[in-house]
Structure 1
């Protein structure tokens, strides 16, 4: 991570002068001690004052500190002075929009030196210019070049409404009033239509010279940007491929990972595989039939390469068939049985039904298949230069070859992960079989790496110029250990950690834990909620009730509506529509009650009079029902640990802090939180969960408890 850096004095002067301009000229600017401290600590890390070889800061910054403005003040001058790019990665679209539409434009006029910023989005957010032209002309690529089922454009005919919207998109693209970005179109684009238009990796290659393609034009703009805003998924996809594919090389970047508590989960998803055996086999069979068309494009010189490709796909198809038939027969004979969700997890021991041997053959054959595609791709690219008149057919063939390359790599990587034998201290992947919910003859083999810290270290921490990770919830039970282990950091590796409390006056807000008759595990708990919740809704203007499950929420909603309550329930309208109705009722001085599940516990911003009464029905303990959670718990147990204490409790602590964070959103907010879970008082772990919460005015079973700050 070492690199040459500008003198500290120059950098500090830039930061101080920018702050003076901000404070003097920004309307309503409020100096915040915690924000200034965050800027200072980030500066020390960037200057190498804590560790010159490892510039990594992990900062838990409570709500209201203004962390985005802090990291812009500290990060941009340092990056500009050292010829680096600032890459700001977030988990949610809401924060991306806030950065691009509000925070960056707000800071730009007061920043010296000046900077350019851009939003990086996934390929699927842009249309493919060639697909748009083909479809507008009434012909899909598949129909033009007879490529069978390899293009997603071979779907149902367009409806009249879709044809009208297509004509509008094509006209706007032609007259350059629309640049092909889905998010910039003023009205929602029909999803089925967009699937036929969107850019895809296998049909969008640099060798085709699509310099006017919306996706490539957007990527070209990134080269001129000093600050790039991206989401965690796109960032980790780029890093997993070695970096420098879409975003700049890690060595050229200062990464600011906002909402960093999501990083490990997104990295795990990035490394996951899902092999639909029957679908993959069908695709390969269709590709095998199509390969004869390559003779017309490559001629005599391509016969040798075409022969090797045909042989390799002819080997891979029966290998996949063997795996499928083995599992299908075992399921039919009930030697293997799935759960209610159609899943069967394989434990940390051997794979069932002799899958090890069969998957080893699949792995070897898929490697051979991928190697055979390489020369075909090269020869087609050469033909494109030699025979421009055949460009449409060659482009279609290149798209198909590229798609098959991706599919071959997917099969190879999937087999590798499923076969991976962990070392003495390595965590094995979660591995399971899943049946398609609609068609139980579709069998999927799935695998997910459980430990991704070493991947993050390899992809980013050890290579980046500097890394700043931030969130309002990085600690669990008042400790960074849970987060540190998840992302692959060590306590002694030179990374710097800070915690900054929110400036909000938590003592003005109440946290109430009533004396209830039973715990959530009791069969009468749902009925208890139908009597308790109305007690805590009485005389309240703006309420949010958070539930642990949809079923529980719907049970209580039905009961309260029967009692005459008017409710806004998650799932009955879009999130945006529900929040708009809630705010309208609050503005109109009408009582409003929002019902939501776990997804309403994060990212929901209801300041001032829009939320004064928060009811949490149950502690957010995750039930380990997914194959990934079960595998993690199993591995911890095998290692002599306690899954509840090492996994469930820290995660519940983090989620509880997030849920409680919905109440106070500004420095003047007030209200109360009612927690209808007596385990906070009755269980031994209760005090630890309470102590990790902000210093609310706590009332436990009617008794006031003084909080430690």
Structure 2
């Protein structure tokens, strides 16, 4: 049952909220969400499965709702709260707006902090090594994937100076310009060499960022970091799942993030190349360790590297070039690989695992000597940093071959396995493996262990059902399992403030002349509209239409802003300025503009969607998933494509009304919602716009 202390805290926060915000209007749906989250976490629906899945439409105020309910419950029950998002924008909103506001109205004091993964931070020791060395220094060359250029070294020196002077915190997101990937990979923090057990790393940005993590009551993370922690067993980076209330906002992204974390890829020639470099450095590393104890690990490592290199080089020649399609991809049907490759994968798994173990032992022996004072840190730490670089690569290589060698299960979906040929001169081959379904892993490693879970999004359902999401995310819909499902409609008055227009067009998007039709028809739906957003299915079509209507745009004095021509931030900045000056502004965008774009009031009154956002299964994983469904007698289009399109279409139309006083229209230039049998389900899943079907 819900503890009285928790309910008292929630009520007091809410009263303070009303007192501090003059003209505050209570939202019934928000209040209901607060109550249901609190009751779910308290075990009123299930003592063993304290979980709520809630779809809360735009305008309900779900962020404040889960803060009002989850934080008091966690504080009064000695639990931690981890809020996980899919986007940096929501992380920043929570850290700079929502949580500071809630802390002002909460009777319970609490602390919060943003947590980012290691990959977002530089290692200050690696950075110092690269800036203090010269171009020919072995340490420097080892840390770089390629020999550094002068401008790259200059950038590193500027970064080191800014870090040393306290003008930069070592976070890639806070550096004023984009840092090239090759540069960042040479200085990024890694779990092997950059840890606080080593004196020269205790002041590294990642370690500083983690200092207060264990003490914070609330941690703002992202889905990727939570998945990384769960993969490590949970409680390694974040708090133990058994002591944690997880809040997954933007939860519709979670299954894809989980799948990416369970995937692995490695190149053949590229791996052989860095193994050659490692082989040359083994003696150098071992000279720093206890000679009597390191000898057998040195021999083992040399032996396994010398077995891996020729095998990987030979393997790259064994794949028939005619197997690959025009994109340089060959996918193994049903995830089944030939027997010779299965046997080769088992051998490579064993050898790469043993090489990884031997190098890890050498690293441990060097660390041991340094801790015992037998080896100066200035000699040990550069070597440990370099070893860490190789350990990460060996670990990944072992994981690739572990997944390649893993037999397909009769119970679940097979692994997707495919090869990719690089398009450059060396023609390297990449081995790729990915699971198709990760729901069981999420259930086993997260949901069944968590002290409580709040799973929320504005677009969780597909075709008015949670089934598609629940299957992907491993959440049970069985009533006896006690998960609380809640669907809260947006408080906006769609009937009064918004209209959905479906014009009578002579052809559908699949027709060859549809792009030309868009060029002809689109100006009619842009005329007399001050702020428009047009969503396209592809960059090619968007640019083609932009080129086709260029003369009309100039003739009418319209301002056309096209995604890709400038940064998203710059485009939106110009759009807002034009709207403020009462000038006509038209945004052209693709799928990424259908989510996370906030244009309230007069910044958007005319939304045009050129076609239903069906995804074409072009990636090897999507193709493999479709193949698997077909093999079980299913229909991939109805089971994957239509539900995914439903979610994306809801996200797209969600760009129009952002506040209760907003108004406008949505124009859908795709008659298939009328002519096809799945169309009615897509329409009925949309908000209740006033409809005009021509």
Task: Judge same fold: TM > 0.5, yes or no.
Answer: yes
Could you tell me which residue of structure 2 aligns to residue 208 of structure 1? 198
C-alpha displacement of 1:136: 4.4
C-alpha displacement of 1:64: 0.5
Helix, strand or coil at the partner of 1:348 = helix
| 2:613 maps to 1:620 | yes
C-alpha displacement of 1:203: 3.4
Could you tell me which residue of structure 2 aligns to residue 93 of structure 1? 88
Could you tell me which residue of structure 2 aligns to residue 310 of structure 1? 302
Helix, strand or coil at the partner of 2:548 = helix
> 2:190 touches 2:389 (CA, 8 Å); kept in 1?
no
> 2:59 touches 2:659 (CA, 8 Å); kept in 1?
yes
Could you tell me which residue of structure 1 aligns to residue 670 of structure 2? 677
Helix, strand or coil at the partner of 1:150 = helix
C-alpha displacement of 1:511: 0.3
Helix, strand or coil at the partner of 1:255 = strand
Which whole-Å deviations, capped at 9, do the CAs of 1:252-290 have from their partners, x for residues lacking one? 111000000000000011111111111111111111121
How do residues 381-420 of structure 1 correspond to structure 2 at under 5 angstroms? 381-387=367-373, 389-420=375-406
Quick one: distance in 2 between partners of 1:417 and 1:199? 26
C-alpha displacement of 1:315: 2.0
Which whole-Å deviations, capped at 9, do the CAs of 1:23-62 have from their partners, x for residues lacking one? 1113553311110000000011011000011101100000
Could you tell me which residue of structure 2 aligns to residue 494 of structure 1? 482
Q: How many residues align?
A: 684
> 2:126 touches 2:385 (CA, 8 Å); kept in 1?
no
Quick one: distance in 1 between partners of 2:692 and 2:268? 56
Helix, strand or coil at the partner of 2:326 = coil
Helix, strand or coil at the partner of 1:326 = coil
How do residues 99-498 of structure 1 correspond to structure 2 at under 5 angstroms? 99-137=94-132, 139=134, 143=137, 146-147=138-139, 149-152=141-144, 155-159=147-151, 163=154, 169-185=159-175, 187-188=176-177, 190-191=179-180, 194-209=184-199, 210-301=201-292, 302-327=294-319, 330-331=320-321, 334=322, 336=323, 338-348=324-334, 350-352=336-338, 354-387=340-373, 389-439=375-425, 441-492=427-478, 493-498=481-486
Point out where structure 1 has 5 or more consecutive residues left out of the alignment. 1-5, 702-709
Which whole-Å deviations, capped at 9, do the CAs of 1:310-363 have from their partners, x for residues lacking one? 112222223323322212xx21xx2x2x22322111111632483112112111
- Of 582, 589, 592, which residue of structure 2 is paired with 1:589? 582
> 1:202 touches 1:400 (CA, 8 Å); kept in 2?
no
Which whole-Å deviations, capped at 9, do the CAs of 1:181-215 have from their partners, x for residues lacking one? 34445x33643655554323343133313222221
- Alignment CA distance shift 1:429-1:295 (3 Å): closer
Quick one: distance in 1 between partners of 2:61 and 2:437? 32
Q: How does the TM-score come out when normalised to structure 1?
A: 0.93
C-alpha displacement of 1:299: 5.0
Quick one: distance in 1 between partners of 2:131 and 2:279? 30
Could you tell me which residue of structure 1 aligns to residue 564 of structure 2? 571
> 2:288 touches 2:375 (CA, 8 Å); kept in 1?
no
- Alignment CA distance shift 1:189-1:16 (3 Å): same
> 2:459 touches 2:650 (CA, 8 Å); kept in 1?
yes
Q: How does the TM-score come out when normalised to structure 2?
A: 0.95
- Alignment CA distance shift 1:542-1:155 (3 Å): same
- Alignment CA distance shift 1:609-1:418 (3 Å): same
Helix, strand or coil at the partner of 1:622 = coil
Point out where structure 2 has 5 or more consecutive residues left out of the alignment. none
Quick one: distance in 2 between partners of 1:190 and 1:647? 37
> 2:537 touches 2:613 (CA, 8 Å); kept in 1?
yes
Could you tell me which residue of structure 2 aligns to residue 524 of structure 1? 513
Could you tell me which residue of structure 1 aligns to residue 498 of structure 2? 509
Helix, strand or coil at the partner of 1:127 = coil
> 1:323 touches 1:359 (CA, 8 Å); kept in 2?
no
Could you tell me which residue of structure 2 aligns to residue 68 of structure 1? 63
Could you tell me which residue of structure 2 aligns to residue 664 of structure 1? 657
Quick one: distance in 2 between partners of 1:610 and 1:484? 35
How do residues 525-544 of structure 1 correspond to structure 2 at under 5 angstroms? 525-544=514-533
Quick one: distance in 2 between partners of 1:474 and 1:631? 24
C-alpha displacement of 1:563: 2.9
> 1:77 touches 1:112 (CA, 8 Å); kept in 2?
no
Quick one: distance in 2 between partners of 1:671 and 1:16? 37
C-alpha displacement of 1:168: 5.4
> 1:147 touches 1:290 (CA, 8 Å); kept in 2?
no
> 1:42 touches 1:71 (CA, 8 Å); kept in 2?
yes
Quick one: distance in 1 between partners of 2:576 and 2:315? 55
Q: Which moved more, 1:296-305 or 1:429-438?
A: 296-305
| 2:41 maps to 1:46 | yes
Q: Which moved more, 1:295-304 or 1:489-498?
A: 295-304
Quick one: distance in 2 between partners of 1:400 and 1:171? 22
Could you tell me which residue of structure 2 aligns to residue 705 of structure 1? none
- Alignment CA distance shift 1:379-1:505 (3 Å): same
> 1:453 touches 1:486 (CA, 8 Å); kept in 2?
yes
C-alpha displacement of 1:153: 7.7
C-alpha displacement of 1:173: 3.5
C-alpha displacement of 1:18: 1.1
Helix, strand or coil at the partner of 2:647 = helix
